[in-house]
Amino acid sequence: MRYFAAAAKKDLARIAKDPIALLTWVGIPIVLGGLMTLVSSGGGGSSPTAQLVVTDLDDSLLSGFLVGAFGQGPLAEMVEVEQLELEPGRARVDAGDVSAQLVIPAGFGAALLAETPTALELITNPAQRILPGILEESLSMLSEAAFYVHRVFGDQLRDLTQGMDAEAGPSSAEVARISVAIRDSIERLQGTLFPPVLSLASTTRSVEDEQDDLEWTFGILLLPSVLFMALFFVAQGLSEDLWVEREQGTLRRAAIAPAPFAQFLLGKLGAGAVVFAGVTAVGLFVGCSWHGLPLSRLPACVLWAALSGLVLQLLLLTMQSLASTRRAGSILTNVALFPLLMIGGGFLPLEALPDGMAAIGSWTPNGWAMIQLKEVLLYGRTGLAFGGAIVVQLAIGALLFLVTHARLSRSFLQA
Amino acid sequence: MIEIEGLEKRYGDLVAVDNIQLRAEPGRIFGLLGPNGAGKSTTIGCVSGLITPSAGRVRVLGHDVASDGRAARASLGVVPQELALYEDLSARENLAFWASAYGLRGPERARRVTEVLESMGLADRAKEPIKKFSGGMKRRLNFGCAVVHRPKVLLLDEPTVGVDPQSRVRILDLVREQVEAGTCVLYTTHYMEEAETLCDELAIIDHGRIIAQGTLPELRGILGEMDVLRLGGRFDPDAVRTALVGMAGVEIAALDEENVRLAVEAASTKLPALFAAMAQAGAEVRETTLTQPNLESLFIKLTGKELRE
Ligand SMILES: Nc1ncnc2c1ncn2[C@@H]1O[C@H](COP(=O)(O)OP(=O)(O)OP(=O)(O)O)[C@@H](O)[C@H]1O
Ligand SMILES: [Mg+2]
């Protein structure tokens, strides 16, 4: 077991040497969650309307999506969009007629696809304060959405743009396939991100329990979602370490050392456990304090969430070990990650998803784990069922561990 | 001690290692000399347990690698051909981790890590992440990680490839130190100078097969007192063959229209006669190289090609 400790310590040291990665994994969900909370709390009936002038110099599919998004869901109620050329638009802002002018630069869509930096310009009306603020928040949310589309379909998008440079261009079948994939994703984002935010105030679950008369606000329901999104990102980042170890030859050296290889692998989970426990402890402490939930529930919640993180890490490690190349591993885990997050309540609480989707979502590993977390976090239930759930997690984890171990000590090493 | 019997490794139709037989003794360096793709790393992989052989058996200090792997691996130190280090950790952290993988712990481990850092000449940079190291420094650390647990058997797979001359001398000294302490070393290389100066016993390997094996004097014996004479220019192969075929103590190793390679006994005394014969055969000689017998000439004699081709 000393070797296990040394392996865990070694992996923790390596994680600690790259704090930016860890911050990114944890930071994105927090930013996203914060923005959703802001937008949803501002989305009451009496919200004022902002007038926005949009000047689309790019006129591409993506810029069209951006303009269109202001006409969807809750944003449509808060923002009135008018498309104008550059000069007339500017004149309207100067005259104080509108809250702001959004300029989408030429080449915006292409830059987004190529992942080169691009900036949207928002010219705000100095006389107004709150309305331009709403516009700014909405915009940053939309660029987050673009970020996710990119993470899911980044490879296909790049293939497509590279294909365009070639003489023949992409085949029409290719274009069709990618367009459908992109459209689906955009629809999913629009369908789940925006309307539910709006309908949330009316659909929050009524609490008929003997428990306190706390009303579950969107923020409280979102807390586990943000937490699981962070766990997922951390787990994915940690799972990629397998390729790093293979490429730098250390995996082989470990395989020929006399100490059991299983302990080397367990060391990765040990390091993961520390990270997961740290992230969940801080996240839940802040979340519980903020929302006034009893801190006595914290230990059980941290235990559960860290355990769930470990099982996610194992799930993704298994996928990585089944892939033949690093790229294949990355595609495989991304393809699994985003749908699971989407329907498993990782982006939005299950309560805010359409009923059918939520029903399926409750059967995803993360959805199920999140429901168990809420039982403890919101209702303080830590009885027999909670114990049973821990046993289930441990059993799934052990099974995944065996698969990964078998893969790693054979074919994964040889290539 | 390493005992290899009838070792074979196939990748589909390719036979990477073909019926290899060898025995490396404690306190001695056994060299495996061969060109690229000869099967050196594959052999080392079979000894370390990383590669499962298709046939044959390997024993390390009497422990069968297949059936008693843990015990066999415990006494092994391996310097892989490619670096195997944690780039973002320091030299000390790397050494400490691999030491614990071989069962060292506590103050003993700390002491040993410090010792190795000093003998590798890395003590003053022990705390830096090694991605800031030069190639030669990384090679030295790669070596250090393999000896930190004082293995009785050491496998070295081309440890000096891509290393500056200073680091190379240092690594070779370190290998000798290990041997003086009684370690059994299996050393692969494609530098024949290295094999000649370092190894007590040698196997020359080509296409997975051992084509000659023995101590350096024994191998020289196979060659006889043959020097290697290389001639460059323009030749008529048939005429050259006819002119040389009757000469005592001259063997043709390779012959084409631009090159002639001869193994010649006591060449200095035969040169005038040789050149006269060549002139008679209408040869136009532009370049002449005479080499004393060495492993290179043995390799040329056995395979008709040069080691570095
Ligand atoms: N995993 C593998 N799959 C298929 N063929 C392999 C594999 N590993 C090695 N080979 C082949 O086996 C042969 C021997 O390779 P090996 O790496 O043992 O050579 P080597 O003597 O170490 O050469 P070098 O000096 O270049 O390191 C080569 O022809 C190589 O292409
Ligand atoms: Mg090799």
CB-based contacts of B12, cutoff 8 Å, min separation 6: none
CA distance A210 to B198: 83
Could you tell me where the beta strands, DSSP code E, fall in chain B? 2-11, 14-24, 29-33, 55-60, 63-64, 76-79, 153-157, 184-189, 201-206, 209-215, 226-234, 250-255, 259-265, 284-291
Please give the share of chain B, as a percent, with pLDDT higher than 70.
97
Read off the CATH number of the domain in which B272 is found.
Answer: 3.30.70.1150
End-to-end Cα distance, chain B: 33
Complex confidence, ipTM: 0.83
Domain assignment of residue B167, yes or no: yes
Please give the share of chain A, as a percent, with pLDDT higher than 70.
68
Element containing residue B16 per DSSP (H, E): strand B14-24
State both tokens at A361. Answer: 């979502």
Contact B100 A3 (CB under 8 A): yes
For a mutational test of ligand 1's pocket, the pick from B40, B79, B189, i.e. the residue with the most ligand atoms closer than 8 A to its C-beta, is: B40
Cβ of residue B36 lying under 6 Å from some atom of ligand 1: yes
Contact B101 A249 (CB under 8 A): no
Contact A256 B48 (CB under 8 A): yes
How far is C-alpha A106 from the chain's CA centre? Answer: 29
B70 and B189 inside one domain? yes
At A146 the pLDDT is 56
Domain assignment of residue B157, yes or no: yes
Tell me the average pLDDT across B270-277: 89
Q: What average pLDDT is seen over chain A?
A: 76
Q: Is the pLDDT of residue B306 over 90?
A: no
Q: Which domain holds residue B169?
A: 2-220
- Per-residue pLDDT reduced to its tens digit, A326-372: 999 988 998 888 888 888 888 878 887 788 888 898 999 999 999 99
Domain assignment of residue B307, yes or no: no
Sign of CA dihedral A200, A205, A206, A212: negative
Q: In chain A, what are the domains?
A: 2-39+217-414 (no CATH), 51-192 (3.40.1710)
B229 and B208 inside one domain? no
Q: In angstroms, what CA-CA distances link A177 with A167, A174, A180, A342?
A: 20, 5, 5, 21
At A116 the pLDDT is 66
For a mutational test of ligand 1's pocket, the pick from B41, B160, B194, B308, i.e. the residue with the most ligand atoms closer than 8 A to its C-beta, is: B41
Are the C-beta atoms of A53 and A93 separated by less than 8 Å?
Answer: yes
B21 and B159 inside one domain? yes
Backbone angles phi, psi at B204, to 5 degrees: -95, 125
Domain assignment of residue B264, yes or no: yes
Number of structural domains found in chain B: 2
Higher pLDDT residue, B213 or A45? B213
Q: Is the pLDDT of residue B77 over 90?
A: yes
Q: Is the pLDDT of residue A188 over 60?
A: no
Tell whether A19 is within 8 A of chain B (Cβ): no
Residue B292's pLDDT band, with cuts at 50, 70 and 90, is: confident
B213 and B255 inside one domain? no
Residue A180's pLDDT band, with cuts at 50, 70 and 90, is: low
- Per-residue pLDDT reduced to its tens digit, A130-168: 555 556 665 655 555 555 555 555 555 555 444 444 444
CB-based contacts of B7, cutoff 8 Å, min separation 6: B17, B19, B20, B21, B43, B46, B53, B55, B56, B57, B58
At A126 the pLDDT is 66
Domain assignment of residue B309, yes or no: no
CA atoms in the 13 A half-sphere facing the CB of A304: 30
Cβ of residue B42 lying under 6 Å from some atom of ligand 1: yes
Are the C-beta atoms of A296 and A387 separated by less than 8 Å?
Answer: no
B119 and B177 inside one domain? yes
Q: Is the pLDDT of residue A275 over 60?
A: yes
Domain assignment of residue B74, yes or no: yes
CA distance A209 to A215: 11
Domain assignment of residue B137, yes or no: yes
